[in-house]
Amino acid sequence: MKALVAALAIVAAPVLAQTTQPVITSARYVEPTDSYGHGAVANGEYAALEVMFSDGEHRTIRWGNAVFEDTTPRLHDFDGDGAPEVVTVLSDTKGGAHIQLIKAVDGLLSAAGGSVPIGRRNRWLAVAGIADFDGDGLDEIAYIDRPHLAKELVLLSVDMSAPKTRLTEVARTRGLTNHHYGSAVIEGGVRTCAGEAAVVLTANGDWSQIMETRVVHGELISIPVAPYDGPESFVPYMRCP
């Protein structure tokens, strides 16, 4: 794990009890940079992440030798404690992109678990969404590994029960993508409907079909549902019946 450099914008007031600790309410990428110089995401490389807390305070966090390369950070409560973690994509100058979780500890930002980096600079991943895809009661992160090259859908389990958060790959399948090189938008997403398994919506590898992918007996199964005709063609399939 690369060295973590945290810049605290404002010092929080002392916390007297666990129940009064501030929690993360929103997050955004800040400080656009061209130091990494990949260009996979239009205006999508940032030096820092700014996090807002329930007490009105802001914190900013940075990594040495890495940038946030993404469209937006995502908030999700993986351990069910009522305090969400932040899901980010961090790209290292040598190792390329990986998923990095950030959590709040006593009102301060702290690195939680991270996935294994792709392994090469200028190799990216695009988050599709977060849900309990396999029905085990725990939420997974779905992303496309190298949406312009490998085009593989990956599910990561997130285990925060141990002293060190673990992100573990639990499923992978080929021939899917959700991002055009240079676009500011990740297309498709995740459909979650009551009484149904969560579904990942992407395009197929050549952008000719909209694909629905779900976990069936522990494996990712993809089926075409409609021709792809631009980002708006996903809209009807993101809705619940």
* pLDDT the model gives residue 48: 98
Pairing of strands 166-174, 209-216: unpaired
CA–CA gap between residue 4 and residue 65 (Å, rounded): 10
Asked whether 142 and 154 are in contact (CB, 8 A), the reply is yes
pLDDT band (50, 70, 90) for residue 82: very high
The pTM assigned to this predicted structure is: 0.90
* pLDDT the model gives residue 12: 31
* pLDDT the model gives residue 21: 85
Sequence letter at residue 5: V
CA–CA gap between residue 232 and residue 210 (Å, rounded): 11
Asked whether 126 and 179 are in contact (CB, 8 A), the reply is yes
Q: Which two tokens stand for residue 45?
A: 């490389």
Please write down the HEC assignment for all residues of the chain.
CCCEEEECCCCCCCCCCHHHCCCEEEEEEEEECCCCCCCCCCCCEEEEEEEEECCCCEEEEEECCEEEECCCCEEECCCCCCCCEEEEEEEECCCEEEEEEEEEECCEEEEEEECCCCCCCCCCEEEEEEECCCCCCCCEEEEEECCCCCCEEEEEEEECCCCCCEEEEEEEEECEECCCCCCCCCCCEEECCCCCCCEEEEEECCCCEEEEEEEECCEEEEEEEEECCCHHHHHHHHCCC
* pLDDT the model gives residue 161: 86
Closest CA to 152 of 174, 179, 180: 174
More confident residue, 81 or 7: 81
Q: To the nearest whole percent, how much of the chain has pLDDT over 90?
A: 87
Q: How many residues does the chain have?
A: 241
User: What's the chain's average pLDDT?
Assistant: 91
Mean pLDDT of 130-155: 96
pLDDT band (50, 70, 90) for residue 166: very high
Residue 8 clears pLDDT 50, i.e. is over it: no
What is the Cα Rg of the chain in Å? 18
The set of residues, in sequence order, having a beta carbon less than 8 Å from that of 206 and lying 6+ positions away, is none
More confident residue, 161 or 96: 96
